[in-house]
Structure formats: structure tokens, C-alpha cells
Structure 1
Amino acid sequence: MIVLNRSDLSRKSLTTLPNVLTYFRMATIPVIVTLLIPPSSGFSQNLAFVVYCIASLTDLLDGVLARRSNTVTSIGKLLDPLADKLLITAVLIMLIPRVQAWLVFLIVGREIGITGLRSIAAGHGLIINSSRMGKNKMISQTLALVFLLPAIPGIQTTLSLIGTSFLWISLVLGYMSALDYFLNFYREAKRRGQPDN
């Protein structure tokens, strides 16, 4: 875990290029949601797919830029996973009933829980870093939506099957990483003598 300082909220920290890319990713969410509002045409679904792919690429790019330019910030470590969760959650909800509602509920429930935990941790001045398992969960979700979003006649069933399989993988990894995050926060809060609720 990383301690969040007042300097992390400075204008310089908030406006680094990696963080600007994170803001851009957040800005694509209403665009994608609008394109997927039923009844959406095949063109709208495919356009949403393109916008989603661009947004996902910014997730990869902001991390690379932050490390290479030495502009990794604590606020970036807080906002980056939040942007990911908002994007994934919004798209999954819009894909109901193409994706089973209860599966979306389990995935979104996990994301809400971890976002709540991150908020509590931030209130104590702590940043919960994404674990390797959590990053693999995110990769699985991203791949799932890459297969579920496009409207391509003739192979739609196959794409949906592959996408749903990746969602199941992300579900397992998601709850395993969630347990890890909760335990790490509990241990850190206890070590610092802070309340864990």
C-alpha cells in the first residue's frame, strides 16, 4: 500500500499525461453507453467496440508512459483502476441481456465492493495497489468485452461464447484478488493502529 499525501492532489500531479489519458478513458464511457442504448444497430455496436478498444489502449499506454517518464503518481494509482471499473461496469450493464444479468451482478458487485474498500483506504491516507491477480482479472474482462461487443453476423455465437468464458475467468480472479485486497488492508490498518471499518 502507498500513503496518499496532500502533494498528490497538486495541479502538477493531477495533470500528468498518464492521468489525462485516464480522464479521457472516463470520458468515453457516456459515448459507449449512448451507442449501446437499445435498440442499437450493428453499426452502433461496432462503433462502440472501436471506442472501447481505443479506451482500453489508453489504459495500457498510461501505465507505460508513467513508468518511462517517471510520472507515476499516487493519485494516478487511485484513479486508473477506478476508470477501469467504471468503464467495464457500464459496458457490462449495457450488454444485458446478451450477458446473463446474474453474472453481471456478481462482477459489478465485486467492483463496487473493491471501490468502496479503496475509498475507505484513501480516507486513511492509503492507496491499495493493483495486484498481479487483479491485473489479470482486468485483462480477462477487457478481452471478454472485445469479443462480446462487436456485431459480426455468422460468428456472433462463437464470439459470445469466447467472451462469456473470459468473463467467468475474470469472476474467479476477481473474487480471489478481492480477498487479497481486504486482507492486505486489514493488516495495514491494524499495523498503523487505524480502525478497519
Structure 2
Amino acid sequence: MNIANLLTSFRILCIPLLVFFFYLPVSWGQTTAALIFAVVGWTDWFDGWVARKFNMQSPLGEFLDPVADKLMVAASLVLLVEQHATIWIAAPALVIISREITVSALREWMAEYGERSAIKVVYVAKIKTLMQLSAIFFLLLAGNEAEVTALFEHSWLYIWGYIFLYIAVGLTLWSMYIYLKVTWPLLASAELKDQPNSNDN
């Protein structure tokens, strides 16, 4: 357990803290939740930099890093969907979470055939992550602004949150297409390679 992995673990431990402040019945609760999310997003970059700079990369870190990202994003999207309860945020949240599950399953499946390197993170996915984190931060910071039908009567935080969210959805679908295109030859192959632990789950 090195510094980089401790930072990654810290991001996971921040999830219940974010939820706590999100529901805390005080005026500054959700603002605090947004700031926690921002710190976690910054730590995502920082722990990767520390791992590379000081040669702290490890199998545990490679496992924990994407898990921490996906848990925080999924938890935050669930909170926002519950708060706003509208298809305009529920649909993007569903697309983003479904994409993360699909790509994670693809990586696991390709790893069983020794082809995990074929689906390394692409540049589009990095921009997608930035837009996704920006969208969630702005929407958390905007607070509980009620009707999406009157979108342009809301604060600029709310408006930019939705703009970034829908940019993230577009990039989410684009990056998933890239991953599926790369893995399709193996997915569509007539025969499976030797796989001793295959199951029907």
C-alpha cells in the first residue's frame, strides 16, 4: 500500500461522505458535496501522477483506480437523478452507467484471452471523463433547481451542467463505439479460444 494507492482508497472512502453532505439538511450541504466531488476528481489525476513519477504503479493501483472513478461517478449520478427526477438527467445517467458496465465487461473478457492491451484508454475517453466530471460538479453545485422545462431561467451552473452532461453522453457513445470496433473481430469469431474457466453467468 503506497501513497498513490492510499490516495485512490481515499477517493473511495469519500463516497459516503459525499452522500452524507448531499442529504444534510443545511444550505451549504450540497455545496460541500460538490467540493468533495471536485477534490476527488483532482485526486484522480494526482494519484496517477504520483504513481508514474515515483514508480509506484502496482496491480492493486491498476485495479482500484478505475473502480474508484466509476463508483464516485455512478453514486453522484444516482443522487442527481433522485434529486431532479426527470428524463433529461435520468437518460444520460443511464447511458453513462451502462457504458461503464459494458466497457468494464469488455476489458475483463478480453483479458481472459490475453488481449486486454487492445482496449487501452483512448483520448476520446479522457475528454469524456473531463466533461462528465465537469457536468456532475456543476449540477451538484447548482443545488436543487426544480423544473428543467424552464432550463434557461436557472443559474449558469445548472445550464453548463447540462451542456457538459450531454457532451459527455456523446463522447461516451463515441468511445464505446471505438472499443466495440476494436474488440468486434474477437467477439464475432466463430470459435472461442481455449478458456478453462468459461461459464454461462
Range into which the TM-score falls when normalised by the shorter chain: 0.7 to 0.9
Residue 163 of structure 1, CA deviation: 0.8
Cα deviation, residue 170, structure 1: 0.9
Superposed CA deviations along residues 75-107 of structure 1, whole A, max 9, x for unmatched, are: 433432221111111101101243621221122
Q: Aligned AA for 1:63?
A: G
Match of 1:103 among 89, 92, 95: 92
Quote how far apart the aligned CAs of 1:142 are. Answer: 0.9
Q: Please give the TM-score of this superposition, normalised by the length of structure 1.
A: 0.77
Unpaired runs of at least 5, structure 1: 1-14
The percent of aligned pairs where both chains have the same amino acid is: 30
Root mean square deviation, CA, Å = 3.1
For the pair 1:43 / 2:28, whether they are aligned, the reply is yes
Partner of 1:168: 166
Determine the structure 1 residue equivalent to 2:107: 118
Shift of 1:194: 5.8
2:55 corresponds to which of 63, 67, 70: 70
Once residues 63 and 161 of structure 1 are traced to their aligned partners in structure 2, the CA distance between those partners, rounded to angstroms, is 31
Instruction: Name the larger-Rg structure.
Output: 2
**Alpha-carbon shift at residue 18 of structure 1 (Å):** 1.7
| Structure 2 residue matching 1:149: 3-state secondary structure | helix
Distance 2:111 2:42 in 1: 27
Higher relative contact order (CA 8 A, sep 6+): 1
When residues 118 and 27 of structure 1 are mapped into structure 2, their CA distance, relative to the original with a 3 A threshold, is: farther
* TM-score normalised per structure 2: 0.76
Aligned positions of 1:151-190 closer than 5 A: 151=142, 157-187=155-185
Structure 2: tracts of 5 or more residues without a match: 146-152
Alignment partners' CA distance in 2, 1:52 and 1:156: 22
